[in-house]
Every structure is written in C-alpha cells, then in structure tokens.
Structure 1
Amino acid sequence: MENQSYKNHRKFYAPHHFILLPLLIVLEAVGIYKIGNDSQNQLVWILFSVVIFLIFYLAFMVRQHYALGLQNRLVRLEFKQRYFEIFNLRSDEVEEKLKFSQIAALRFAYDDEFKILLEKALKDDISGDEIKKSITRWRADHHRI
C-alpha cells in the first residue's frame, strides 16, 4: 500500500464517483441538448432533465451527508480519546476552541507533532489545511469512508 501524505490522502469510491455520477451528468447533458433540438417532445425532455438532476442531487447529497456525518463524529471521538491518552485530561475545553477542520487535520500527525500542532492551532488559529501541510511525518488513515 502506498504511503499516505497530504497529496494523496483523499479517497474516491469508484462506482459512485467514476460511474454513477458521470453517467448522470451525461444523461443531463443529453436532456438539455434535446430540450433545444427536439421541439415536438420538449416538455418530455424538460421533465427528463429535471428527474435526472434530482437523482444526481440525491445521489451526491445522501452519500455525502450520511458518510461525512458519521465520519465527523468518529473523528471527534478519536480526538477526545487521543487527547486523553496524551495529556491525561478531558478535551472538552480544548475541543470547543478548535474548528472541525483543525481536529480532522490533527489526526494525520503522530503524537509528538500532534502536541506542537495542537498548540499552534490554539495559539495562532492555523487552518486545517495548514496543519496538514505542516506535518512532517504523516500518520496514514486508510480506513476512511
């Protein structure tokens, strides 16, 4: 398995990202094309385009909503556990001061860098993206959805 880093940490689900969504985009383009070029069945093509758009929207949003909602909860739980293991303290006050993007970015840092980057995030309010870019030894997460 390839080492994970800032440049390759995003994950795609091939059937969804490379088959279903492109197919829906092509069907939407065909529907829009037909609206302008088939005046006899224009109403049918408008309805077709609206239905395809709604299917596309639902396919995109439902998958994102449930997967990301659950993943965000797990990331917060992981942060709390890790903070407790490192500092032997509850993380409630610290967590309230951080944005979710910062919490999510900190999971890619090993414990020694975690401490430093957490302090920078609290002190200088650096973004999650800046935290990720600052990590020198990337702690891979191959189990994301």
Structure 2
Amino acid sequence: METQNYKNHKKFYPPHHFIYLPVLILLEILGVYKIFDDSSHQLTWILFSIVIFLLFYLAIMLRQHYALGLQNRLVRLEFKQRYFEIFGRRSDEIEEKLKFDQIAALRFTYDDEFKELLYQALHENISGDKIKKSIKNWHPDLHRI
C-alpha cells in the first residue's frame, strides 16, 4: 500500500463512485435526451428522469450523511482520547475552541507535531487544510470509511 499523505488521503468506494453513480448519471442523461427525442412517450421519459434523479440524490446524500456523521463522532472521540493520553487531562475546554476541520486534521499527526499544531490551531486559528499541509511526518488513517 502506498504511504498516505496529503495528496492521497481521500478514499473512494469503487462500486459506489465508479459504477453505481456513473450508471445513474448516464441513465439521467439518456432520460433527458429522450424527453426531447421521443415526443410520443415524453411523459414516461420525464417520470423516468425524475426517478433516476431521486435515486442519484438519495444515493449520495444517505451514504455521505450516515458515514460522515459516524466518522465525525469517532474523530472527536479519538481527539479526546489522544489529548488525554498526551496531556493527562480532559479536552472539553480545548475541543470547544477548535473547529471540526482542525480536529480532523490533527489526527494525521504524530504526538510531537500534534502538540505544536494544536498550539497553532488554538492561538493562530490555522485551518484544517493548513494543518494538513504543515504536517512533516504524516500519520496515516487507514481505517476511514
């Protein structure tokens, strides 16, 4: 497996991203084309296009909503645990001062950089993306959904 870093840390689910969604897009294009091409069955093609659009919309929204919601909760729990392990105290006050993108970005750091980048996030309010770009020794997250 390739070493994880800023450029390759996003994850795709091939059946969803490269088969199911492209097929729905092609069917939607076909349906819209047929609305104008086949006037004798125009209502049928309009309904077909609406159904395909709804399937496409639901596939994207439900998959993302459930996976991201759960993943966000786990990222926050990992931050709390890690903060406690490093500093020996609860992170509630610190966590309230950080935006989620900052907390999420800090998970890609090892402990030595975690302290430095956490300080910058708190005092300089650097973004999650800037935190990721500042990481010198990337700690991969190989268990993402």
Inter-partner Cα distance in structure 2 for 1:48 and 1:129: 41
The one-letter amino acid paired with 1:87 is F
Q: 1:73 is matched with which residue?
A: 73
Q: 2:22 is matched with which residue?
A: 22
Aligned residues: CA RMSD: 0.4
Q: 1:82 is matched with which residue?
A: 82
Relative to the length of structure 1, the TM-score reads 0.99
Q: 1:63 is matched with which residue?
A: 63
SS at structure 2 position matched to 1:48: helix
Q: 1:35 is matched with which residue?
A: 35
Deviation at 1:32, TM superposition (A): 0.5
Deviation at 1:36, TM superposition (A): 1.0
Inter-partner Cα distance in structure 1 for 2:124 and 2:44: 56
| Aligned pairs for 1:101-112 within 5 A | 101-112=101-112
The one-letter amino acid paired with 2:122 is L
Deviation at 1:39, TM superposition (A): 0.8
Relative to the length of structure 2, the TM-score reads 0.99
Residue segments in structure 2 that go unaligned for 5+ positions in a row: none
Inter-partner Cα distance in structure 2 for 1:94 and 1:128: 15
The one-letter amino acid paired with 2:140 is A
Aligned residue pair count: 145
Q: 1:53 is matched with which residue?
A: 53
Inter-partner Cα distance in structure 1 for 2:94 and 2:49: 48
Inter-partner Cα distance in structure 2 for 1:99 and 1:82: 17
SS at structure 2 position matched to 1:64: helix
Tell me the percent identity. 75
Inter-partner Cα distance in structure 2 for 1:48 and 1:20: 17
Indicate yes or no: 2:122 matched with 1:99: no
The one-letter amino acid paired with 2:81 is Q
